[in-house]
Amino acid sequence: MNPIRFVTVDAHDPHALAAFWAHVTGFTFHAETAPGDTEVLLESPSGPSLLFIRVDDKKQVKNRVHLDIQQESGTRDAEVERLIGLGATVYEDHRDPDGTGWVTMRDPEGNEFCVERTVAERAAAA
The pLDDT tens digits of the residues spanning 13-67 come to 999 999 999 999 999 999 999 988 999 999 999 889 999 999 998 888 888 889 9
Same domain, 34 and 86: no
Query: How many domains does the chain contain in total?
Result: 2
Does the pLDDT value for residue 2 go beyond 90? Answer: no
114 - beta bridge partners?
68, 104
* Mean pLDDT within 99-120: 96
Range of the domain at 5: 1-56
Residue 52: count of CB within 10 angstroms of its CB: 28
| pLDDT value of residue 123 | 93
Same domain, 44 and 93: no
Same domain, 71 and 123: yes
Please tell me the distance from the alpha carbon of residue 116 to that of residue 45, in angstroms, as a whole number: 21
| pLDDT value of residue 64 | 83
* Mean pLDDT within 73-91: 97
| pLDDT value of residue 1 | 60
Distance of CA 81 to the CA centre of its chain: 14
